[in-house]
Structures are given as C-alpha cells and as structure tokens.
Amino acid sequence: MENLDYARLQMAFTLGFHIIFACIGMVMPFFMVVSHYKYLKTRNPVYKKLTKSWLKGVAIFFVTGAVSGTALSFELGMLWPEFMKHAGPIIGMPFSLEGAAFFVEAIALGFYLYGWDKLPEKFHWFTGIIIGVSGVASGILVVSANGWMNAPSGFDYINGEFTNIDPVKAFLNPAWFTQALHMTLAAFVATSFGVAGIHAYQIYKNRNVDLHKKAFKITIIIGTVAAFLQPISGDISAKDVAERQPVKLAALEAHFETQKGAPLYIGGIVDVEKQKVTHKIAIPKALSFLAFGDFDAEVKGLNDFPKEEHPPVAIVHYAFQIMVGLGVVLMLAGLIYLVSLKKKNWEKNKYYWLLFVLMAPLGFVAIEAGWVVTEVGRQPWIIHQIMLTKDAVTPMPGMKYSFYFYLCMYSLLAVTVTWLMNRQIKALNQNPN
Amino acid sequence: MLYVVLFFLLFSLLLYVMLGGADFGAGIVELFASRKNRPHTRDIIYRVIGPVWEANHIWLIIMLVILWVAFPAYFNIMVVYLHIPLTLVLLGITIRGVAFVFRHYDAVIDQSQFWYNWLFRIGSFITPVFLGLSFGALISGKIITLEAYPDSNFYDFFIHPWLNLFGLLVGLFYAALCAFLAATLLIGESEGVARNHFSKSSAIFTITLVLLGFVLLFYGYLNDIKFVRDFIENPIAILSVVISGILLFPLWKFIRAQRRIASRNMAGIQVVLILFAAIVTHFPYFIITADKEISLLENMAPQATITNLGWMLIIGGAVILPGLFHLMKSFKMIKVLEKS
C-alpha cells in the first residue's frame, strides 16, 4: 500500500473513532436533562442518581470526544495539507462557528458538572440543556463542512484557482441540510439504542431493576422516535445524491448500466470485473422511484462515467446495504417497544430485554457504514469534481507508521473507556443510596 | 476586519499560553512535588482547574481555526514540516486530558489511580515541551522547504528542524513558564503546608525560568539564530523582558502579603510582556526558514473570508467571553482563605 492509502486509513480510523464519541457526547446530555427534569418534578432520588451517573458518562465521553476532535483538527491539515490550504478559507465559517459552539458546550459542562448544590436549581438544569443544544449544533456545523466536500459551492474555480469566495454560500451548500439531518437523527438512534441496550442488560441480569427501567424508558422513547424519522431523512438524502452525485448513487446500488425503470437491489455480491451483482433480491423499478419519485425515471449507471472516476463500488454497495438494513432492524425494535406498551407481560420475558441488548451496537455500526458510503462513495475526489484525494495528501513519507501509532493509541483509549463505563455501571448497582 | 482576526489570533494565543499553560503547569508542579506533597497538590488542582481546564484548551482550537481559515499558507508550512512534533503534542494533550478526567471520574478508586496520576503528570510536562519545540522550529531558520531543497532527505525535512538543542531550550523554557504560572495560581488557593510547598516550588520555577531564559538567548546568539539576534537588538523587546524581570519583586511581595488577585495579575502581566517581546521582534515574520522569512500577511485568505471570519469571531466572542468569565468567577475564585 502507498502513503496515500495509509493516510486514508488513518483518517477513516480516527474519524470513525471520533464519530462514536461525538455522537454519545451529543445525545447523552439530553437523557441526562430529561432524568434531571423528572427528579426536579418528582424528587425521586433514583432520578438524581441516574442523572449523576449519566453525567459521569457524559464527562468521560466529552473529554474523549474533545481530545479526538482536537486531534482531527490538526490531522485535517497534517494529512491533507493541500486540501486545507484551499478549502480552509472557503469552509472556515462552519468551523469557526463550531469552535464557538464547542466552547459554549465546555463552559456549560463546567457549570453543570461542578454546579450541584451550588447554583440555583433551574439555572443548573438549564446549563444541561445548553450542553446538549451546543453539542448538536457542533455536529451539524461539522457535517456542513463535510457537505461542502460533496457539494462544493461558494466559489468559482478558474484555471485551478479558487476565486470569488462566498463563505456563507459554502456553508449553506446544497448538501448541508440533508446530511446534517440524517446524521443528527442517526446520532440519536444509535446512542439511544446503545444506552438502552446497556440498561436492558442490567434488567436482564436483574440488577437494580427500578433504576435501570427508568433509564431504559427515557432512552428507548427517544430512540424509537428518531428511528421512525430516519427513513424520511434517508429518502431526502437519496434524492439529493441522485441529483448531485449520480456516480455515488450508482455505486451504492452497484448499478452498472444506465436504465429506465431501474430495479432496486437488496443485498447481493458485487463482481466489479464482470459488472454483475449476484445473489440479490431485485425489486423492479424501485430504484427509479426512490431516487426520482418516478417509476420510469432514468438512473445513470457507472458505465456512463469514466472508469477513473468510479469509487470502490463493492465497498460502497455493501456499506449501504448494512446501513439501510440496520436502520430497518432498529425501526422494528422500536415497533416492538411500542407494542410492549400494550402487552405488559412482555416485560416479564427475559428475551424481551435480551433483544434490546443485542440492538445496542447496531446503530453505531450503521453510522460507520453510512460514513463509508458518503466518504468512500465520493472517491477519488476529496472535493467533488474539483480536487483529487491523491493530490491533497501530505508530502511526508512514512504515513504507515503514523497510522499504526494512531491505531494503537485509539484502541487503547477505546478499551480504557469501555472498561471505565463497566466500572461506572458496577458502582451504580453496588451503592443503592 | 483583518485587525479583528489578528486580535483574536493573538488573544487566543495569549490565553492559550497563559490558561492552557497554567493547566500544563499544574501537572508539572505535581510531577516535581515530593511524595508527601502530591496528595494535596492533586486535590487542589482538581478544585482549581477542574471546572475550567476544558475551556482552557479550546483556545488552541480557536487559534488553529483562525490560522487555517485566514492564513492557510502559514498553516500549511506548520502541518507539513512539523508533522511529527505536532503529533507528539496531540499525544500529550490526549494523555493528560483523559488521565485527568479518568482519575477524578473513575467510579472505583484503586491501583489504576497510579497510572492516571503518572500519565497526567508526564503528559503535562511533555506537551509544553513539544509545543516549544514546534515554535522553536518555526523561528530557528532550520526548516527547509521541498521547493527550495528538493534533494534533501527525510531527516533534513521532517526531523532536524525541530529536534535540536535550540528547540529543546525553547520547550523547556515554556514548560518552566507553565510551572511558574501554575505555582503562582495554586499559592492563592491553598493554606498551611500546601501553601508553603507551592511557595517553594514557585521560587524554584521562577529561578529555573530566568536561568533558562538567559541560556536560550545566549545559545541563540552564539549559534547565530536570526530570531534571537533580532530579539537582542530590539530595544522594545529587551525593555519588555527587563520590566518583566523587575516585576518579580512586587510579585514576591504580593505573594508574601497573601494578595492573591494582585499576585495573579502580576504573573499575568509578566507573561504578557514576554510574549509581547517575542511577537514585537518579528511581526509579522514568524516563520523563518533556511532561505527566507515568511510573513503572516502574505498569501492570506481573500477579503470575503477575512470579513466573514471577523464577524464570526465577534459573535462567538460576545457569546463565549461573558459565559467564560462567569464560569471562572463562579468556581475559580472559591473563597478558601476567607472561609477560615
């Protein structure tokens, strides 16, 4: 593998790592303030205990997200100096706003963490809301910068020079809204089902059931709502990609020949050499309908584009299948929860809880797969149709070692954080005060 | 608007050097504390720095964003040629940040505290050293660019510019400055044994700082480092440093008189003067490579970007600064001494 491949691997790995922590850091504050609100209403000490233990989780995830985010803001430049040199001045606006939002979040977290019994109750609770809102704002802003890479706008590209820069237009690029909506909902789905699964496991093991049931209820409701909204946002995204990045749409469907009334492939094994997808389920005309809202619309195939502009088709196709498949599974899990509201005796069944334990990691797998779709699907471009990824990479050789260095560091960090969370939960069950 | 952007760049640099520095310094003070002094150091650091340390480090990100948005060519040189030391800075920031949180938020207190403590202390020490190494590399005239010297090897491009004695001296100087700031801050938040300990370490770090300052200037002068030569020949820079040195006497007086706020202000002014001296010497030529001096203001981002960034910074500042001030007021100035 070349330097470029290692640089890409490192970027993928560190982003993939950061996304998990960022999502949890973004969504968990909302669970925390809901539980805190219930405590203020009912004065039931169980809610206070739950709030405080979630808060410890938020603090640990926030700091891990913050340091990995700091690392990323360096890495963007260190791995892709040519990209940042030109893109920096154009997409500076979301990044500078993100800096501000992140700052607000850190300030609010400082108040919330250290403000118990020191600040007025309502103000203290309100600082928790600010943590959540500014966290979500940060996420949206960063995704908007990524949207610009998919839908570059706010400049004229003349003879290899970026001129007439309009930072606001670049910020509000055509992809920002669809991507930000999809990602925010995804963060809510993944984190809610993730946290719900952890509490379901404790109920399954019959530990401190009263507290864990309260925790499960708060998280699963938020998760279910988000899971049902996600397909709508997915549909908006698909139509947007179909229009702006037809080659990406063709890759994620492994759709080789241009065709009217194109079928939708579910699953399947891609053979790029023979341009075939075997072992699939094909739904006639469905792709045309989903992409353009018309059963007979023409969907461009990969062969309509020069070969050197094709993204790695198989990876993108598989990742897309995984993302959509898991999204559907989580929606069904949400449905099971809704039904269980009527059928009270389900809760007594151990397997009911085990089911939600199994759902815990799926949302995060779907998020990673989704990012593979959007990032690998954009290749070979770093800025769609403007700059190639290989022209942006650092001139420094030896990225191999850098990649392994980050791999070790972040793996160690992930193991430590998991271990710490486990200790938090154990401590929560041991001291019933 | 360019002035607004420059103001925020220097402002966040200053705040990062001071607040982030006091933060690193706290870990350095703990690193060099004797075994019996460590427990109280650990507790006081948590109380004083806990609520604000995350905010302190965001100044680095603000600085970084301003650099890459408004001064992309400058940022480009830093990230290409200082790839390795900046990676090590990141390693340090990561280690000490997570270790600090882990040691205070781990639900179980056991053997693992030993690791958290050491990682926090060592991380706090190496991070400012590597920051200093990186800054030293920018001003030492040792960076050679791929365009100017296409035939050089990996060592010449990516290692030699930062890994040298001058860089190390700059790094140690910054680490000592951090420890000096932290010790001064901690004196005001402690009493009894702890107070004596911090007073002693404050004195030791002040002496180290002054000595390192002299060695740095001397070494730079003897080795013909342009930045140091220009620094010594610049009357304003020298005057600032001399005033900063003289202010040590009132600082000691305030510390002995237990005037916390006055002593903090004094230490702050001293750091501002040192930073001012370094900036005034070479503004705006902060990158000195082997063959040329590069101005911050050349190859800037276009006007539209600068204007936009300026407004974003003004809006962001209007939201953040009052909140931050309130946060510091609420927690940092806990009235420990008045209580007793």
ipTM of the complex: 0.84
By the 8 A CB rule, do A86 and B302 touch? no
Q: What pLDDT score was predicted for residue B333?
A: 46
- Residues of chain A neighbouring B304 (CB-CB closer than 8 A): 165-167
Q: What pLDDT score was predicted for residue A38?
A: 92
- Measured CA to CA in angstroms, residue B238 lies from A377, B18, B234, B268, B277 at distances of 57, 21, 6, 18, 7
Flag if B76 and A73 touch (Cβ within 8 Å): no
Task: Tell me how many residue pairs between chain A and chain B have CB atoms under 8 A apart.
Answer: 192
Number of domains in chain B: 1
Flag if A62 and B102 touch (Cβ within 8 Å): no
> From the centroid of its chain, how far is CA A226?
13
Q: Nearest CA to B329 among A116, A55, A111, A102?
A: A111
Take residue A309 and report the two structure tokens written for it.
């502009």
Take residue B60 and report the two structure tokens written for it.
């680095």
Structure letter (DSSP) for residue A166: -
Residue pointed to by tokens 């940060």: A138
3-state SS assignment for residue A388: strand
Question: What's the CA gap between A26 and A30, in Å, rounded?
Answer: 8
Take residue A84 and report the two structure tokens written for it.
């940042």
By the 8 A CB rule, do B26 and B45 touch? yes
Take residue A228 and report the two structure tokens written for it.
């049902």
Among the partner residues B51, B68, B93, nearest to A114 by beta-carbon distance: B51
Asked whether the CA dihedral B238, B240, B245, B246 is positive or negative, the reply is positive
A418 touches chain B (CB under 8 A): no
- Residues of chain A neighbouring B55 (CB-CB closer than 8 A): 103, 106-107, 110
Mean pLDDT value across chain A: 89
Flag if A103 and B50 touch (Cβ within 8 Å): no
pLDDT digits (tens, 9 = 90+) for B250-266: 888 888 887 878 888 88
Q: Roughly how many angstroms between the first and final C-alpha of chain A, as a whole number? A: 56
By the 8 A CB rule, do B206 and B180 touch? yes
Nearest Cα residue in chain A from B316: A100
Flag if B64 and A73 touch (Cβ within 8 Å): yes
Residue pointed to by tokens 């399947």: A268
Nearest Cα residue in chain A from B70: A89
Structure letter (DSSP) for residue B159: I
CB proximity list for B14: less than 8 A, separation 6 or greater: B272, B275
- Residues of chain B neighbouring A96 (CB-CB closer than 8 A): 65-66, 69, 309, 312-313, 316
Question: What's the CA gap between A135 and A101, in Å, rounded?
Answer: 7
By the 8 A CB rule, do A222 and A30 touch? yes
Nearest Cα residue in chain A from B73: A85
Asked whether the CA dihedral A396, A401, A406, A407 is positive or negative, the reply is positive
Nearest Cα residue in chain B from A413: B98
Flag if B330 and A111 touch (Cβ within 8 Å): yes
Q: What pLDDT score was predicted for residue A431?
A: 63
Q: How confident is the model at residue B62 (pLDDT cuts 50, 70, 90)?
A: confident
Q: What is the distance in angstroms between the Cα of A425 and the nearest Cα belonging to chain B?
A: 9
Mutation for testing the B interface, residue in A55, A103, A413, A433 having most B CBs under 10 Å: A103
Question: What's the CA gap between B9 and B199, in Å, rounded?
Answer: 33
Question: What's the CA gap between A323 and A23, in Å, rounded?
Answer: 16
A269 touches chain B (CB under 8 A): no
Secondary structure, 3-state, B280-300:
HHHCCCCEEECCCEECCCCCC
- Measured CA to CA in angstroms, residue B173 lies from A25, A141, B211, B217 at distances of 36, 38, 9, 11
Flag if B72 and A89 touch (Cβ within 8 Å): yes
Structural domain boundaries enclosing B111: 2-339
Q: Nearest CA to A100 among B11, B59, B52?
A: B59
> From the centroid of its chain, how far is CA A356?
20
- Measured CA to CA in angstroms, residue B150 lies from A77, A78, A278 at distances of 21, 20, 51
Q: What percent of chain B has pLDDT over 90?
A: 25
Q: What is the distance in angstroms between the Cα of A232 and the nearest Cα belonging to chain B?
A: 33
- Measured CA to CA in angstroms, residue B99 lies from A53, A145, A177, A425, B117 at distances of 19, 31, 37, 20, 7
DSSP characters for B2-17?
A: HHHHHHHHHHHHHHII
Residue B336 predicted with pLDDT over 60: no
Q: Nearest CA to B248 among B231, B212, B273?
A: B273
Q: What pLDDT score was predicted for residue B228?
A: 86
Q: What is the distance in angstroms between the Cα of B89 and the nearest Cα belonging to chain A?
A: 9
Q: What percent of chain B has pLDDT over 70?
A: 97
- The one-digit pLDDT tens for each residue of chain A (433 residues) are 788 999 999 999 999 999 998 899 899 999 999 999 999 999 998 899 899 889 988 888 888 888 888 888 888 888 999 888 888 889 888 988 888 898 888 888 888 888 888 888 889 999 999 999 999 999 999 999 999 999 898 888 888 888 888 888 888 988 899 999 999 999 999 999 999 999 999 889 888 888 899 999 999 999 999 999 999 999 999 888 888 888 888 888 888 888 888 888 888 888 888 888 888 888 888 888 888 888 888 888 888 888 888 888 889 999 999 999 999 999 999 999 999 888 888 888 888 899 999 999 999 999 999 999 999 989 889 988 888 898 888 888 888 898 999 999 889 888 988 888 888 888 877 765 4
Q: Which residues pair with A283 in a beta bridge?
A: A264
Question: What's the CA gap between B222 and B229, in Å, rounded?
Answer: 9
A123 touches chain B (CB under 8 A): no
Nearest Cα residue in chain B from A110: B51
Nearest Cα residue in chain B from A161: B302
Flag if A88 and B58 touch (Cβ within 8 Å): no
Q: What pLDDT score was predicted for residue A432?
A: 55
Flag if A64 and B98 touch (Cβ within 8 Å): yes
Nearest Cα residue in chain A from B105: A56
By the 8 A CB rule, do A83 and A383 touch? yes
Q: What pLDDT score was predicted for residue B48?
A: 80
Take residue B136 and report the two structure tokens written for it.
């030293």
Q: Which residues pair with A162 in a beta bridge?
A: A157
Residue B335 predicted with pLDDT over 60: no
- Residues of chain B neighbouring A99 (CB-CB closer than 8 A): 58, 61-62, 65, 316
Inter-axis angle of helices A92-114 and A121-150, nearest 10: 160
A361 touches chain B (CB under 8 A): no
A 187-246 residues with CB below 8 A of B? Answer: none
By the 8 A CB rule, do A250 and A299 touch? yes
Flag if A114 and B50 touch (Cβ within 8 Å): yes
Q: What pLDDT score was predicted for residue B119?
A: 92
- Residues of chain B neighbouring A401 (CB-CB closer than 8 A): none
Q: What is the distance in angstroms between the Cα of A121 and the nearest Cα belonging to chain B?
A: 15
Rounded to 5°, the CA angle A217-A221-A222 comes to: 120
pLDDT digits (tens, 9 = 90+) for B117-144: 999 999 999 999 999 999 988 888 888 8
Rounded to 5°, the CA angle A239-A244-A246 comes to: 80
**Alpha helix (H) residue ranges in A80-208:** 81-87, 92-114, 121-150, 167-171, 176-204
Q: How confident is the model at residue B338 (pLDDT cuts 50, 70, 90)?
A: very low
Phi, psi dihedrals of residue A281, rounded to the nearest 5°? -105, 125
- Residues of chain B neighbouring A70 (CB-CB closer than 8 A): 57, 60-61, 90, 93
By the 8 A CB rule, do B79 and A113 touch? no
Q: What is the pTM of this model?
A: 0.88
By the 8 A CB rule, do A292 and A238 touch? no
- Residues of chain A neighbouring B323 (CB-CB closer than 8 A): 104, 107-108
Mean pLDDT value across chain B: 86
Phi, psi dihedrals of residue B319, rounded to the nearest 5°? -85, -45
Q: Nearest CA to B31 among B166, B131, B128, B170?
A: B128
pLDDT digits (tens, 9 = 90+) for B276-333: 998 888 888 888 888 888 888 888 888 888 888 899 899 888 888 888 887 777 765 4
Phi, psi dihedrals of residue B296, rounded to the nearest 5°? -60, -30
